[in-house]
Amino acid sequence: MKDKKGNFFEDVYAVVKLIPKGRVTSYGAIASYLGSKGSARMVGWALIAAHPLTDLPAYRVVNRNGLLTGKQHFGDPNAMQSALESEGLIIIKDQIQDFDKHFWDPAKELL
DNA sequence: CCTGTGACTCCCG
DNA sequence: CCGGGAGCCACAG
């Protein structure tokens, strides 16, 4: 927190940490909320850097289809699904069921 | 300064 | 329906 070179990352961390339990969001939604819409990759990348260093609930962040694309980066692919199911979500083959119902948009929820 | 890479997303055929 | 390509921004070497 001395250097501000990770300014973008901090924003991602803050948003992800604000995701309510049992809710999920997409990389594009966060990127758009940060103003870097189109740079959804940066959000995922920020999570990679944050993953081992922070207590970021990255498992609440999935791709636009509600698919657990980044589960492989959790160390244990099953951990991501288990964590989400533990919060009341239903996942089949890495695909979140009723994703649109559990979708949490920072740009609208936080407003 | 240039290049490579990435947990994404959209468009086209 | 499914695959491939391009666009995108930030960071490391």
**Element containing residue A26 per DSSP (H, E):** strand A25-26
Domain A7-109 has CATH 1.10.10.10: yes
> Which bases of chain B come closer than 7 Å to a protein CB?
6-10
pLDDT digits (tens, 9 = 90+) for A23-63: 999 999 999 998 777 789 999 999 988 887 888 999 999 99
Task: Calculate mean pLDDT across residues A98-108.
Answer: 93
Contact present, A91 and A85 (Cβ < 8 Å): yes
pTM of the model: 0.90
Can you read off the two tokens belonging to residue A9? Answer: 């990352």
Give Cα A76 distance to the centre of its chain. Answer: 17
Residue A107 has pLDDT above 80, yes or no: yes
- Residues A21, A25, A31: CA angle, nearest 5 degrees: 135
Give nearest nucleotide to A48 (CA–C1'): B7
